[in-house]
Structure 1
Amino acid sequence: MTLKLGRQSFSDEATLMMAIVNRTPDSFYDKGATWAEDKAFDRVAQVVDEGAEIVDIGGIKAAPGVFIDAAEEKERVVSFVARVREKYPDLVISVDTWRAEVGRAVCEAGADVLNDAWGGADPELVDVAAAFDAAIICTHTGGVTPRTRPYRIEYDDVVASAIADTTAYAERALAAGVARESIVIDPAHDFGKNTFHSLELTRRLDEMVATGWPVLVSLSNKDFVGETLDLPVGERLTGTLAATAISALAGARIYRVHEVVETRQVVDMVNTIAGRRLPQRAIRGLQ
């Protein structure tokens, strides 16, 4: 399905890199490396140069931590979105937020996508997306409260639950007025899940792709990778790329990443092997 992400549309064979830009002092991965606004802006410039089609700006880390209200979240992201929009008028800007109040403010500042990592915790977020002709990412979290870790959560079938919840969220967004081509679903690895759940979702991702909704995966340096290989944050790139390859073979469309170049190469290689993409050049044995 052709994707419309705010001001940009992408053909149905396009795979997209969504680069993570944290406006937080306590991110699990970068430890606040882009907390300062100029550092975050440098990160945007870097990932754009590396070929990212989307930047995903977040003002609150997902894990438990210091309470951040909507006013503080807006302080962290709204003016930054406006700055990025001014410098990069054609770049797709996503904002990682579950709050409709924040969603409205960032859309007014120029955001194209609302990346709801918490599965519709604020039911009015879809109305904001519809009002601004923005795209929305519909995630599966098993109903957990935002910024909490799962504890002994159980599913009869985690993939069936992910499909049921994300497609229901997608249909609710559609009913609210969000364009069909601007709705994406995300199994949300680690969110409301243990490592076995995330592994099963990766293994059976083709079932989510088969729903017909475009699928986003956020795999980068996640705990399910670290636990599988018994590796700390910072040493999970190889495992992340292995999970990325499986997701690419299944047909995922958008990859939310820390490492743009490495992920792009893996996705392109897999899609070429799968016959969905031609090699950049093919002269061996022909010259």
Structure 2
Amino acid sequence: MHLRSFLALAVLAIAPFAHAQQTIRLSTTTSTENSGLLAWLLPAFEAKTGSKVRVISVGTGKALELARNGDVDVTLVHARGAEDKFVAEGHGIDRRDVMYNDFVVAGPAADPARVSGGKDVIAAFKKIAASDAKFISRGDNSGTDVMEKSYWKTAGVQPATGKYVSAGLGMGEVLNMAAELQAYTLTDRATYSSYKARTGLEVLVQGDPRMYNPYGIIAVNPERHKGVNHKGAMQLIDWITSSEGQQKIASFKPQGQQLFFPSASKPQAGAISR
């Protein structure tokens, strides 16, 4: 065989393998990682496409910063205001709804602030602030942290110095800290469910429409960062918002409980009923 023909055949043989090994860099929130959702979703995507997803799990603020700097190809977060700003400033394109769940107030079974059974998160925050109990905040500019801060602002109060702990940690670590200190915290339901057995914390407040927690996925703008894998980003976006991806999200039910609800085809109004 002529050397040129041999080399051409070799390139053709290697090309599919090289394509199969493309890496997609995804920045996302600790809730999607801590809950086990990504471990459930991504193997199905990788098996179907041959692509490899490298996950960087941080708070939403940091996830968007990584995307803004072009350090990732795509981001999956839950802070709609920040997401819209990110797109409006030209850092991201083709934002799509993916799924939703809700926030809950978790705390010790003893419930010293007497908030158990309530459905008004603002009233609950006022009671916590007036009590001697501690409150553990993410303190990391995550979607959960942003939402929590908005509740305190609406309530017009905050726990006294020494009773409000800004942890600067991910959701799972904050839940462990709340359990150790017998404190309250705001958490997404999915991460709470994954940590419930090890923390012993109870869901004490839930069902307030203001605790609606939507997630969106956004491709990094390739015009801003020429080196991003835009093709891979769109491949992931298209799959996770497809009927296959959405069904996979709906079927994630650890201990028989559905933790995320697909919303790509049916945008939600924001009401949560529990």
- Structure ranking higher in strand proportion: 2
TM-score, length-scaled by structure 2: 0.27
